[in-house]
Copies of this chain bind each other. A is one copy, B any other.
């Protein structure tokens, strides 16, 4: 399961007896925000961030770390987020629904991530009482989320499928299984460094467990395809040369852009996945988050971002 970068479970939830956000005034939204924040804090030790007060760069950093959605990072008026100390749990308040409860963990760990998210969701339900219909399940703003209100995603690195073009056949295969392929930051985004998101397309008509099972089985299948394609690519010395050079450049560059760094880190991960390089994959994944534009802008603290990025990579590898 070395291709999986991370696993994410998120539940879309709305409070029973409370209007959807689209029908609320700004004042009502702020009142809801404070109410949810106060109640949610009873369930765990969270830091609260008032999104309206956040700078673009800081919001961008949360997006890069997958703690909030890109849309939530863009439209921050009357929004807030609760973050757990371990960086794995986030509760977006007033995103599209009243709450988006999310747990993200490294690697492929659908069962564990689901358990952790479900437990938090239950605790929140006890204090907030979510809108639920016996017939439809959890009620959400967008019909595609009605039912379980759950989206389970695996972020997965597929360099060989990308290079050979096999990735082009994946969407239709996934679709037949009620799943979908997205870019690294959700619908319509690019797959940066050959990392894709595989998740369930609908959340109605299947139980949470069935969704997890289907996704898990599909991820396993995709990894098998990826690995057999990778094996063939590495029979060519040029592939070995390319991933080794990528490591050399990362270890020696004095200035590097975000996109080049992600491309080269993807190559190094490709080498490590296939035993050609002996780099620690978790170190590469951590770097891949850290070198992104907003995170780097904050770390650079006024200094040249590309130079600080190169230093960071050199010192880490």
Which A residues are within 8 Å of any B CB, using their own CB?
A: 237-238, 240-241, 244-245, 247-256, 304, 307, 310
Using CB atoms, name the residue of chain B closest to A240. Answer: B254
| Of listed A241, A244, A254, residue having the most chain B CB within 10 A | A254
Q: How many copies does the complex hold?
A: 2
- 8 closest A-B pairs by beta carbon, nearest first, are A248-B252, A248-B248, A241-B254, A241-B255, A244-B252, A244-B254, A240-B254, A248-B249
Q: Is the interface of A mostly helix, strand, loop or mixed?
A: helix
A-B contacts, 28 listed (Cβ < 8 Å) = A237-B254, A237-B255, A237-B304, A237-B307, A238-B255, A240-B254, A241-B253, A241-B254, A241-B255, A241-B256, A241-B310, A244-B252, A244-B253, A244-B254, A245-B249, A245-B252, A245-B253, A245-B254, A247-B252, A248-B248, A248-B249, A248-B250, A248-B251, A248-B253, A249-B249, A249-B252, A251-B251, A251-B252
Closest to A276 in B: B254
A304 to B237, CA, bound (A): 10
- Point out the residues of chain B lying under 8 angstroms from A304, CB to CB: 237
**What's the Cα separation between A251 and B247 when bound, in Å?**
10
Q: Which residues of B contact A241 (CB under 8 A)?
A: 253-256, 310
Which of A249, A256, A307 has the most B CB atoms < 10 Å from its CB?
Answer: A249
Determine the distance from Cα of A250 to Cα of B245 in the docked complex, in whole angstroms.
Answer: 8
Told that A240-B254, A245-B249, A245-B252 touch, could you supply 14 new A-B pairs with CB distance under 8 A?
Answer: A237-B254, A237-B304, A238-B255, A240-B255, A241-B254, A241-B310, A244-B252, A244-B253, A244-B254, A245-B253, A245-B254, A248-B248, A248-B252, A249-B252
Closest to A246 in B: B252
> In the complex, A251 Cα to B245 Cα: how many Å?
8
Contacts of A254 in B (CB 8 A): 237, 240-241, 244-245
What is the minimal beta-carbon distance from A197 to any residue of chain B, in angstroms?
A: 31
Q: How far is the CB of A309 from chain B (nearest CB, A)?
A: 11
**Minimum C-beta distance from A307 to chain B (A):** 6
- How far, in angstroms, from A252 to B304 measured CA to CA in the complex? 27
